């Protein structure tokens, strides 16, 4: 919730605040991030890293955030004991039904391959959705004012300028991604069911044209 709903949906594409841009220096996803020599090759090793996305959350980053109480430079609200207990119980439950129980019925190799396949596909899918929606040559990467800490635009304009729709009108992709190909609408109206995003996109686009706000959509 803190990582996605609070930080990503508030400080979209703002380096050091949007945790989705942080890859520990392995990838350079924002112009404001420090360039390293290995970044010249990131187009070759990015996809293997994408495949590890959800596994890294599951086995490392979730625990790191719980223990440190921080997401990047952002300090999270204090976690209640009951929430910590719930976190641990859900982890035990997940590993039990995805690994332990299947081991009673299938060989170890089959179970591990299935587990890895699920996370490789999910990791690549989530990463590609994020890249297409946010880290493109067309989207903005604003920086907060060094003195006031304020962003240069209001929240709604910021969301439109840092986000892009992709493959709008593709019903199969829209079904598979749960409407996440309409990222502008997802960011502006995250509480509204995604089945309404196509209709909303036409309204948002017209409104953006009316107020001279750049609206990005890639076919």
- Tell me the DSSP string of 183-209: HHHHHH-TTS-GGGHHHHHHHHHHHHH
Which two tokens mark 27?
């990838």
For residue 182, with 0-12 CB atoms within 10 Å meaning exposed, 13-18 middle and 19 or more buried, which class applies?
A: buried
Facing residues of 112 across strands? none
**Tokens 């495949």 appear where?**
51
pLDDT at 74 > cutoff 80:
no
Q: Distance from CA of residue 66 to its chain's centroid?
A: 19
Bridge pairing between strands 74-75 and 70-71: antiparallel
- In the predicted model, what is the mean pLDDT of residues 179-206? 94
Which two tokens mark 128?
């590609």
pLDDT value for 207: 96
pLDDT value for 1: 66
At 159, give phi and psi (nearest 5°).
Answer: -65, -40
pTM score, whole prediction: 0.84
- In the predicted model, what is the mean pLDDT of residues 69-94? 83
Which two tokens mark 182?
């309409």
Q: What is the percentage of the chain residues whose pLDDT exceeds 70? A: 98
pLDDT value for 154: 92
Cα distance between residue 48 and residue 63, in whole Å: 23
At 216, give phi and psi (nearest 5°).
Answer: -105, 130
- In the predicted model, what is the mean pLDDT of residues 123-140? 92
Cα distance between residue 119 and residue 37, in whole Å: 29
Q: Do 64 and 87 form a contact (C-beta atoms < 8 A)?
A: no
* Residue with more model confidence, 71 or 197: 197
Q: What is the mean pLDDT of the chain?
A: 90
């Amino acid at each position: 919730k803190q990582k996605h709903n609070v930080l990503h949906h508030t400080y979209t594409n703002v380096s050091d605040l949007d945790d989705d841009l942080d890859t520990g220096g392995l990838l350079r996803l924002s112009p404001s991030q420090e360039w390293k020599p290995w970044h010249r090759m990131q187009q070759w090793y990015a996809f293997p890293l994408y495949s590890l996305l959800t596994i890294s959350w599951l086995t490392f980053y979730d625990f790191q955030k719980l223990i440190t109480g921080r997401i990047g430079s952002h300090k999270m609200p204090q976690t209640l004991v009951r929430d910590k207990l719930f976190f641990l119980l859900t982890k035990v439950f997940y590993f039990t039904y995805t690994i332990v129980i299947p081991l009673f019925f299938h060989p170890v190799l089959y179970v591990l391959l299935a587990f890895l396949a699920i996370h490789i596909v999910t990791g690549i899918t989530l990463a590609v959705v994020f890249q297409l929606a946010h880290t493109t040559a067309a989207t903005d990467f604003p920086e907060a004012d060094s003195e006031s800490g304020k962003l240069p635009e209001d929240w709604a304009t910021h969301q439109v300028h840092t986000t892009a729709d992709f493959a709008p009108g593709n019903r199969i992709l829209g079904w598979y991604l749960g409407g996440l190909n309409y990222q502008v609408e997802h960011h502006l109206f995250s509480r509204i069911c995604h089945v309404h995003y196509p209709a909303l996109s036409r309204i948002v686009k017209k409104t953006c044209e009316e107020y001279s706000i750049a609206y990005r959509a890639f076919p």
